[in-house]
Amino acid sequence: MQRRTLLQALLAPATRPQIRVQFDAADHRNVPLPPAAWLNYLFHYIDQPNSQIRSIAWDLSLGDTFAVYPSRLLPPSPDLQITKWRNEGFHWVPEILKAARQRKIQNVWHHRFSEVDIRPEGGLELEQRRPLKAQNPDWLIRSWWWQGLWNIASPGLRAHKLEILKEVAQSLDIDGIQIDFARHIPCLPPGRQWELRHHATEFMRQLRRMLRATNLKLELSAKVPETLAGCKTDGFDIATWARENLIDSLTLGSRAFTVNVEEIRAAVGPNIHLSPCLDDHHATDGYRYPPIEIFRGVATNWLAQGANSVTTFNWSAAPNHGGPISHQQAYTEIGSLETMRRKPKRYLVERRGGYPWAEGSFNRNDHMPLPAKLSNDGRSQTFPLRLHDLEIQQAELTILLFQSRPTDQLQVTCNTTPLTLTQSDNSAKDPQIFSPKPQPNSGGKGDYTIDPKQSLRKLTYAVPLTSLKTGPNQVTIKIQTRAAYRPGEDIQIEKIELATTPS
């Protein structure tokens, strides 16, 4: 009965703040604490006053190779810490599920559809092919990952995964299962994803049928790209999934701030719970560990478009254990428009790049507008900037430029209204901008140092409130005058941000 109550609460209209955490608890397994204290650490942000976390997608599956729970199908994980806990009688997966249940938090099992192969001691498996893959070459897609990725078009692979997920559903105290297609694509042969989309649909159909047969009324969710075009590129027919009642909820995107909630809502209808995702490890380019104002702007745009909740991924679980303090504050704010109302926000035009671990659309952000070179012949470029907050007293637009001189003059408009330059910083610095070097891949330790030799140009413009509108806005930029320059010395727009001060 409790499971059904929690599921109904998740799928009901958003009458209270809702944040779901995609929680890779195994990443925290080596925090040097005894089991009881470790559990308290794991739930530190969840237990803080005014936490808006209502659901946890436990991202604990180790592909299809090892199990972190008692399993008759898979061998136990050889991870040293997990093995130590198991030998001491601490069965950590049932314990964290129990701890969440005591807090009335929804438990969802998060299954990465096609994970890369990791050695037990950490690091990629680059020396030998995993036995399951070596024994079943017809289950694989030859791809960017040398071991191959799982091919959802293979009936044998689908049957194998359904057996694993059936065991999970029947043996663990969970409220639902989420299939994560972000880890990794492609899961259909490249170039034929949409043609072969019926195989992904058939897997979701078989999974729904299996879960119904367990009679546990488990929620079924999927993590899919943040736009309909991205879903089509990767072979996910979410409109059919919704029409056939194969899903209860969708997690939208992972590292993209720009999520088209409205078009996905139109495709799937009013009864599917939509939850865009904020990954702050493989973060959107140039914005890892951002301040709270950025998180507020992103979440406000999503919820105002009709998202039912916000999902976080790769966020810290407690202070001083990785991640910025803005994570802690965001967990008390970003699940509700009301708790972000009349607070400073920053809205931005998104950057592309930084994610090579995919072949297709998901996670790559290839369609984002920045960085962009300005035309030296005076042609203008227009950039989309969405905001859903007009209870503001002041707004200013900042543009961060590479290879722009103090004598260069730009013409900037917001929705055709000319903007007035109020400040020019000709020696600005940003530790997450690397021009003229190529942008590095996302992730890593997150330690960004300022280059004392870096010289970016930051221009600030006053934005008349009458020029702004709720929803999509347009910022248009062009070079007005520019002194002599060498070939290749093009002005590059690195960032565009709109900061709002509440009324």
- Residue 241 located in a structural domain: yes
Examine the domain organization and report whether 69 and 207 are in the same domain.
yes
- Residue 331 located in a structural domain: no
Predicted pLDDT of residue 4: 40
Examine the domain organization and report whether 267 and 405 are in the same domain.
no
Examine the domain organization and report whether 379 and 489 are in the same domain.
yes
Rounded to whole angstroms, how far apart are CA atoms 104 and 98? Answer: 10
Q: Express each pLDDT in 134-145 by its tens digit.
A: 999 999 999 999
Overall average pLDDT of the 473-498 stretch: 94
- Residue 410 located in a structural domain: yes
Look at the chain and report how many structural domains it folds into.
2
Q: Express each pLDDT in 319-347 by its tens digit.
A: 877 789 999 999 999 999 999 999 999 99
DSSP at 137: G
Q: Which residue segment(s) compose the domain that 21 sits in?
A: 2-275
Nearest to 367 by CA among 234, 239, 229, 267: 229
Rounded to whole angstroms, how far apart are CA atoms 209 and 454? Answer: 57
| DSSP state letters, 56-89 | EEE---BTTTBBSS--SSSPBP--HHHHHHHHTT
Question: Do residues 448 and 430 lie in contact, with contact meaning Cβ atoms separated by under 8 Å?
Answer: no
Which is higher by pLDDT, 428 or 353? 428
Q: How confident is residue 16, by pLDDT bands cut at 50, 70 and 90?
A: confident
Predicted pLDDT of residue 88: 92
- Residue 85 located in a structural domain: yes
Among the three residues 244, 275, 306, which one is the final residue of a domain in this structure? 275
- Residue 148 located in a structural domain: yes
Residue 6 has pLDDT above 50, yes or no: no
Residue 242 has pLDDT above 60, yes or no: yes
- Residue 344 located in a structural domain: no
CATH code, domain carrying 214: 3.20.20
Q: How confident is residue 65, by pLDDT bands cut at 50, 70 and 90?
A: confident
- Residue 350 located in a structural domain: no
Residue 354 has pLDDT above 80, yes or no: yes
Examine the domain organization and report whether 264 and 385 are in the same domain.
no
Among the three residues 260, 275, 290, which one is the final residue of a domain in this structure? 275
Examine the domain organization and report whether 162 and 271 are in the same domain.
yes
Residue 7 has pLDDT above 50, yes or no: no
Examine the domain organization and report whether 381 and 242 are in the same domain.
no
Which is higher by pLDDT, 15 or 412? 412
Examine the domain organization and report whether 53 and 190 are in the same domain.
yes
Among the three residues 235, 251, 275, which one is the final residue of a domain in this structure? 275
Examine the domain organization and report whether 216 and 106 are in the same domain.
yes
Examine the domain organization and report whether 389 and 265 are in the same domain.
no
Q: Express each pLDDT in 79-132 by its tens digit.
A: 888 889 999 999 999 999 999 999 999 999 999 999 898 877 678 888 888 899
Nearest to 156 by CA among 176, 177, 135: 135
- Residue 170 located in a structural domain: yes
CATH code, domain carrying 484: 2.60.120.1200
Instruction: Express as a percent the part of the chain with pLDDT over 70.
Output: 96
Predicted pLDDT of residue 15: 54
Q: Express each pLDDT in 256-293 by its tens digit.
A: 999 999 999 999 999 999 999 999 999 999 999 999 99
Going by C-beta distance under 8 Å and a sequence separation of 6 or more, which residues neighbour residue 317? 23, 28, 41, 42, 43, 44, 45
Examine the domain organization and report whether 263 and 145 are in the same domain.
yes
Q: Express each pLDDT in 143-166 by its tens digit.
A: 999 999 999 999 999 999 999 999
Strand 372-373 and strand 492-502: the pairing is: antiparallel
Mean of per-residue pLDDT scores for the chain: 93
Examine the domain organization and report whether 260 and 382 are in the same domain.
no
Strand 471-481 and strand 381-387: the pairing is: antiparallel
Q: Exposure of 386 by Cβ count < 10 A (0-12 exposed, 13-18 middle, 19+ buried)?
A: buried
Examine the domain organization and report whether 255 and 393 are in the same domain.
no
Read off the pTM. 0.94
Q: How confident is residue 11, by pLDDT bands cut at 50, 70 and 90?
A: very low
List of long-range contacts for 167-172, beta carbons under 8 Å, 24+ apart: 167/71, 167/72, 167/73, 168/69, 168/109, 168/111, 169/109, 169/210, 169/211, 169/214, 169/216, 169/218, 170/214, 170/216, 171/69, 171/70, 171/71, 172/69, 172/93, 172/94, 172/97, 172/107, 172/109
